[in-house]
A and B are shown apart, each in its own frame.
Chain A
Amino acid sequence: MAEATIPLKLTAKDFKSDQEVRWCPGCGDYAILAAVQQFMPELNIPRENIVFVSGIGCSSRFPYYMNTYGMHSIHGRAPAIATGLSVSRPDLSVWVVTGDGDALSIGGNHLIHALRRNVNLKILLFNNRIYGLTKGQYSPTSELGKITKSTPTGSADSPFNPLSLALGAEATFVARTIDSDRKHLQSVLRAAAEHDGSAFIEIYQNCNIFNDGAFELLKDPGTKDDHLIRLEHGQPITFGAQGQFCVVHPAGGFGLSVRETASVAPEDVLVHDATVDDPAYAFALSRLSGSDLGTTPIGVFRSVRRESYDTLVQEQLATAKAGATGTPEEMLSGLLASGDTWTIL
């Protein structure tokens, strides 16, 4: 992130564009937009140095509503477009807004490669587990057997777990949050913004038209405490209204398990460490949550330091330029005349 020494004193209003917001009334995207607009002044980055790039889908209309630079591009390609922008303009703060269909179906390849490269992008994946803009087909995060317009007898393909996928690509920053929890959402944005390299944030987002209540288990005051696991770096992983559940690493197993806290020795309760270098730990955390959302961690799963693609590319350019002498025109002349030449008088 750029370090501006003078506070810019921007407000959420400064980040609202003059365009009328056209999501369906009640869409979770409104809450995310408001949370992002309210958070942006914290960055203390001039608006002109911020770019939002999106693909296609409901979520991808997002850049039109941000009073920054923005590009609403084509389906699935936002990570690739943003990569070209970010690597050639390291002075910019580049954000990608995408959805479950955009990022995980048509654009799956670009997503995993952006994460693998660790491009300095902040990627917000709005996951509503449905295709909204095309009016209600199942998505690559829809649960198996999902009945939709295109799957009247139920979908036959298993969903992706977006965080497992990102961690499989060894993303350096991986987090999950929920549209309706503004405070938590902004805390995750903050951590992502501070991260140098790719930051991948899955945001559970309600589509009230085609998949209403998909995340209700995690939102309903009556159920959320028993199903939502709030990860905090350095803290034991417990949940439930009274902290009656916890996460442990059973001896002899690969993964993590949920236990009743009372049945576990205090020192056996897993303490969350987002900085574990081996992605296997965060991957195991991501596996706690299946399609049924029964035990769903939110927060920062992984935040590790690895040189970003942008930095490495810029270093190579800087090294090459440091060894150069002469004006570009002189260097070009030399280059054109390199190799075996001969002169005719």
Chain B
Amino acid sequence: MAEQVSDAAPAKQVQQLERVVIRFAGDSGDGMQLTGDRFTSETAQLGNDISTLPNFPAEIRAPAGTLPGVSSFQVHFADYDILTPGDSPNVLVAMNPAALKANVADLPPGADIIVNTDEFTKRNLIKVGYAVSPLEDGSLARFRVHPVALTSMTVGALADLDVSKKDAERAKNMFALGLVSWMYSRPHESTLRFLERKFAKRPELVAANIAAFKAGWNFGETTETFTVRYEVKPAKMAAGTYRNITGNAALALGLVAAGVRAQLPVFLGAYPITPASDILHELSKHKRLGVTTMQAEDEIAAVAAAVGAAYGGALAVTTTSGPGVALKGESISLAIALELPLVIVDVQRAGPSTGMPTKTEQADLNMALYGRHGEAPLAVIAPKSPSDCFHAAIEAARIALTYRTPVILLSDNYVANGSEPWLLPEVGDLPDLRVEFATEPNGEDGRFLPYLRDPETMARPWAVPGTPGLEHRIGGLEKADRTGDISYDPANHDFMVRTRAARIDGIPVPDVEVDDPDGDASVLVLGWGSTYGPIGAACRRLRQRNLPIAQAHLRHIAPLPANLGEVLRRYDRVVIPEMNLGQLAHVIRAKYLVDALPYNQVRGLPFTATELANMLEDVVKNG
């Protein structure tokens, strides 16, 4: 690398920036996710804070060159701690006319656009409705457009290599990555190592992709198209070892960690579904840590198998998205009746029905809280960011194991596929999740009473098959208190229904914390789950404008923190932004009789900090 890539750039001006948002956009076959991922990794190595947002269609390969086929990856990096992937890109890399057209409206004036001119053919322009090339009609005058013949230069750079024209053309994403890496002074070693690993079985592709990357880098270095090179200094972050991680990966590792800390085998029953499948993929790699994964025949079998494994003494998990939770409802109810630990992960996506499988939403909260027959309460928690998925998974397992209950963990596509730097925890600092299985009869005359409860946790004994003397039968029919025998007694049913509700209500959860730096805010913005970043960024903007605002964010939605009512009543106005039509707001209004103001958006995309800041500013100023 050193002899071919010069890091010295005497002819170029170097400009310092605090933060940059880059969006790589192209056809879904152009490798934009990989490109964005690599740029993110290089940026993480440099020590910037990062937040990413992949955005891709559900179709694996939509027709080439069309608007529905556009796939993009946005990365925001800064020399300070950031909370979101950024509202609008400073740089757009557009690999074809469709990518330009689909993204140009998001760009602020003055943004840089790098376009692959090779793809701006008449045919491709017509395909997306451009009568005249936007590169020639002056419509991009408010931007800094950098026309680059990405494809042909890549093919040219690989002319001496033994690769097909098709493989050479496919390496154009690495040319683009090389160019942008040069522009932003990113370290490139990890990308070269990555390419060597990725194409280890095809050395010619290693050579081709590395050559393309270097060609892109050197193009930036030598051509006069690019006169400025940028630097973003490392962010001041807490000391420790970091890795960049997506929410799905963090969630999977959290489940593995929970198994280790509980000293229990982890059993995952799952059926492939976007955007949750990556959790299944990740967990299937960790057999040596005692993780069994079963790809079941359907969503129902996936949760049913998990219930069976929980009965046998495993830390049982099922992972899915909204449509899967709908199918799992009856089995979750069974787990509620059986009072067995079970973690149900719902990586929410836009619904109803198939909806928009690759787009985010928070509209499964009602289903998580209420979506079962009968009075069927369970615990519900939600992670607030990609790396927080790790800790949320451990918390879900802790509640499930300690209180012998199903727990729904509400992730969503935004945190699941987004990424950020993660300060690696010390394993020894993670919660101790060890459980005690029942080993002895607990009733009179040596009888075993499967529904005799622990007075503190209200959990019933976990008596797993294989334990002599504790043979017992349980099922979905209503059970008598203590004995667990079938019971149709009216008073017993009333008691058991109330007990199951009290069991969940009684789970101690941490108080909600309020971020109100000067303590003078009259408006509280309350969120849950993945809106944490955009809400936090919006609050910062208000405070920069000297407008006080308080922020509180819920991890536990069932049960709610004990201090929440008091917190809500402290403020004149409570605003609840959600990516649904007001589901948490309904809960808050019903439970606390607080006139909370919902603010809702269901566009399949996260809130932008800008829109939230504008909305909150209006509330703060006008009530």
B150 at interface, CB cutoff 8 A:
no
Which residues of chain A are near B316, meaning CB under 8 Å?
84
What's the Cα separation between A340 and B298 when bound, in Å? 35
B472 / chain A contacts, CB cutoff of 8 Å: 69-70
B252, chain A: closest CB distance, angstroms: 10
Interface centre among B190, B237, B308 (most CB of A within 10 A): B308
Cα A17 to Cα B474 in complex, Å, equals 13
Q: Is residue A63 within 8 Å, beta carbon to beta carbon, of the partner chain?
A: yes
Digit string of A35-77 for contact with B (CB within 8 Å is 1, else 0)?
Answer: 0000000000011111101001000000110111111111001
B62 CB-CB contact with A under 8 Å? no
In Å, the complex CA distance between A86 and B307 comes to 12
Find out whether the CB atom of B253 lies under 8 angstroms from the CB atom of A84.
no
Q: Which of A46, A74, A85 contacts B330 (CB 8 A)?
A: A74
Which of B424-432, B527-535, B541-549 sits within the interface? B424-432
* Structural contact, B312 and A341, CB atoms closer than 8 A: no
Please state if A329 and B292 are interface contacts (CB–CB under 8 Å): no
Nearest B residue to A75 via CB reads B330
Task: Write the nearest CB–CB distance from B184 to chain A, whole angstroms.
Answer: 17
Cβ contact of A83, chosen from B256, B305, B469, cutoff 8 A: B305
Interface membership of A87, Cβ < 8 A? yes
- Contact across chains for B476 and A89 when beta carbons are under 8 A apart: no
Which chain A residue shows the least CB distance to B236? Answer: A344
Verify B242–A344 contact, CB threshold 8 A.
Answer: yes
Q: Are A83 and B294 in contact (CB under 8 A)?
A: yes
A contact residues around B257 at 8 Å (CB): 332, 336
Interface code B323-354, partner A: CB below 8 Å = 1, 0 otherwise? 00000001101100010000000000000000
Point out the residues of chain B lying under 8 angstroms from A84, CB to CB.
267, 269, 294, 304-310, 312, 316
A-B contact count (CB 8 A): 205
Is A80 touching B313 in the complex (CB atoms < 8 A)? no
| Candidate in B331, B465, B467 with the most chain A CB atoms within 10 angstroms | B465
Q: Given the complex of chains A and B, what is the CA–CA distance between A142 and B269 in angstroms?
A: 34
Question: Least Cβ distance of A286 to chain B in Å?
Answer: 23
Chain A, Cβ-Cβ closest to B298 = A109
Q: Do the beta carbons of B473 and A331 come within 8 Å of each other? A: no
Residues of A within 8 A of B314 (CB): 88
Other-chain residue from A81, A88, A316, A342 in contact with B44 (beta carbon distance below 8 A): A342
Cα distance, A110 to B292, chains bound together (Å):
19
What 1/0 flags go to A1-40 for Cβ under 8 Å of B? 0000000000000000101000000000000000000000
Asked if B1 lies at the interface with its beta carbon under 8 angstroms from chain A, I say: no
- Contact present for A342 and B45 (CB under 8 Å): yes
A275→B425 CA distance, assembly (Å):
56
A335 and B289 within 8 A (CB):
yes
Q: Are A110 and B465 within 8 A (Cβ)?
A: no
Contact with B along A299-341 (1 / 0, CB 8 A): 0000000000000010011011101100011011101111111
CA distance A317 to B267 in the complex (A): 12
Given A82-B308, A333-B427, A341-B242, A48 and B289 contact (CB-CB distance below 8 Å): no
Q: Is the CB of B297 within 8 A of A109?
A: yes
Contact residue among B47, B312, B468, B474 (Cβ-Cβ distance under 8 Å from A46):
B468
Complex formed: what's the CA distance from A126 to B426 in Å? Answer: 54
Residue in A63, A64, A74, A337 whose CB lies within 8 Å of B243:
A337
Determine the distance from Cα of A340 to Cα of B257 in the docked complex, in whole angstroms: 20
Which residue of the partner chain, among B234, B269, B289, contacts A328 with CB atoms under 8 Å?
A: B289
Q: A85-B312, A345-B239 are in contact. Are A335 and B253 (CB under 8 A)?
A: yes
A113 touches B297 (CB 8 A): yes
Residue of A nearest to B42 (CB): A340
Tell whether, in the assembled complex, residue B471 and residue A341 are in contact, meaning their CB atoms are under 8 Å apart.
Answer: no
Is B486 among interface residues, defined by CB-CB distance under 8 A?
yes
The distance in angstroms between the C-alpha atoms of A331 and B291, with both chains bound, is 13
For window 50-69 of B, CB contacts with A under 8 Å fall at none
Q: Which residues does chain A contribute within 8 Å of B425, judged by CB atoms?
A: 336
Flag A92-114 by CB within 8 Å of B: 1 or 0 each.
10000000000000000110010
Docked-complex contact B190 and A329, CB < 8 angstroms: no
Q: Whole-angstrom distance between the alpha carbons of A316 and B290 in the complex?
A: 10
- The verdict on B85 contacting chain A, using a C-beta distance below 8 Å, is no
Number of residues on chain B facing chain A (CB within 8 A) = 72
B288 at the A/B interface (Cβ < 8 Å)?
Answer: yes
Residues of A within 8 A of B281 (CB): none
A91 within 8 A of B: yes
A343 interface residue per 8 A CB criterion: yes
CB-CB under 8 A from A81, the residues of chain B are 304-305, 307-308, 311
Contact of A48 among B239, B311, B468 (CB under 8 A): B468
Task: Identify which of A67, A110, A321, A329 contacts B427 (C-beta below 8 A).
Answer: A329
Q: Do B424 and A336 touch (CB < 8 A)?
A: yes
Task: Choose among A51, A109, A321, A337 the residue that contacts B465 (Cβ–Cβ < 8 A).
Answer: A51
- Report the minimum CB–CB distance from A316 to chain B (whole Å): 6
Decide if A92 touches B477 in the complex (CB within 8 Å): no
Known: A63-B475, A89-B465, A317-B292. A53 touches B308 (CB 8 A): yes
State whether B244 touches A85 (Cβ < 8 A). no
Q: Is there contact, CB below 8 Å, between B304 and A341?
A: no
Contact in complex: A344, B47 (CB < 8 Å): yes
- Nearest to A116 among chain B residues (CB) is B297
Residues of A within 8 A of B310 (CB): 84
Given the known A-B contacts A84-B309, A89-B313, are A341 and B427 also in contact in the complex, defined by CB atoms under 8 Å? no
Chain B residues within an 8 Å CB radius of A56: 476
Asked if B196 CB lies within 8 Å of chain A CBs, one says no
- Other A-B contacts than A113-B301, A313-B294, A344-B242, 18 sampled, CB-CB below 8 A, are A19-B473, A19-B485, A69-B465, A69-B471, A73-B476, A74-B330, A77-B330, A83-B305, A84-B267, A85-B465, A109-B297, A110-B301, A316-B287, A317-B292, A332-B256, A336-B253, A341-B243, A343-B242
Q: Ordered nearest first, which 7 A-B pairs have the shortest CB separation?
A: A72-B475, A84-B308, A84-B305, A320-B287, A80-B304, A85-B308, A80-B301
Q: List 23 A-B contacts (CB under 8 A).
A: A49-B465, A53-B308, A64-B473, A64-B486, A67-B471, A80-B297, A81-B305, A83-B294, A84-B312, A85-B465, A113-B301, A321-B290, A323-B288, A328-B260, A329-B428, A332-B257, A333-B426, A337-B424, A338-B243, A339-B243, A341-B242, A344-B47, A344-B237
User: Could you tell me which A residues sit within 8 Å of B by CB distance?
Assistant: 17, 19, 46-51, 53, 56, 63-64, 66-74, 77, 80-89, 91-92, 109-110, 113, 313, 316-317, 319-321, 323-324, 328-329, 331-333, 335-345
